Amino acid sequence: MQPMPAEQTQARRFGKARSARSTAVLEDYVELISDLLGTTGEARPTDIARRLGVSHPTAIDTIARLKREDLVTARPYRGVFLTEKGETLAKRVRTRHRLVVDVLLALGVPQEAAEADAEGIEHHVSDVTLKAFAEFLRDAKGPRKA
């Protein structure tokens, strides 16, 4: 059995995990809204709810939270749109997601499992770890042969 970490260290770790869980929902919504806008031109609460597997009232409540965080705007009968802050977050989340998926694929994880697992991992991984993931992928590709 490994020794327990110092109290402050352990509290910091658990605090980071709680914070990640709190922001994960917002990140998932922003990423999905960006995807919907990019592919269909609109992000309606009904579509958001169906794609996230939540009830319509849950989607409406979360969209209200996104508005309070200045991540989205919503217009009656026109759907939900990302603010500049929301677009920036969506790009960061998408990049992080792709990087986690690519690492899992490089490790031999099947595509569907890598995509599903990345949905959880991407919200909890630190910038330090993401940098290590990127370096791992760069090293795994190695020098190109002419």
pLDDT tens-place string over residues 102-134:
999 999 999 999 999 998 898 888 899 999 999
- Using pLDDT thresholds of 50, 70 and 90, give the confidence band for residue 143: low
Specify the number of domains making up the chain: 2
| 102 and 63 belong to one structural domain | no
| 20 and 75 belong to one structural domain | yes
- The full DSSP string for the chain is -PPPPPHHHHHHHHHHHHHHHHHHHHHHHHHHHHHHHHHHS---HHHHHHHHT--HHHHHHHHHHHHHTTSEEEETTTEEEE-HHHHHHHHHHHHHHHHHHHHHHHTT--HHHHHHHHHHHTTT--HHHHHHHHHHHHHHH-PPP-
| 78 and 23 belong to one structural domain | yes
| 73 and 24 belong to one structural domain | yes
The mean per-residue pLDDT over the stretch 55-69 comes to 95
We report the CATH number of the domain holding residue 52 as 1.10.10.10
Tell me the average pLDDT of the chain. 90
| 105 and 46 belong to one structural domain | no
Q: Which residue among 83, 113, 133 closes a domain?
A: 83
| 19 and 33 belong to one structural domain | yes
8-12, 37-41, 91-95, 142-146: segment of lowest average pLDDT = 142-146
**What's the whole-model pTM score?**
0.80
The parent domain of residue 126 ranges over 87-141
What is the pLDDT, as a whole number, of residue 146? 46
- Using pLDDT thresholds of 50, 70 and 90, give the confidence band for residue 86: very high
Identify whether 51 is part of a domain: yes
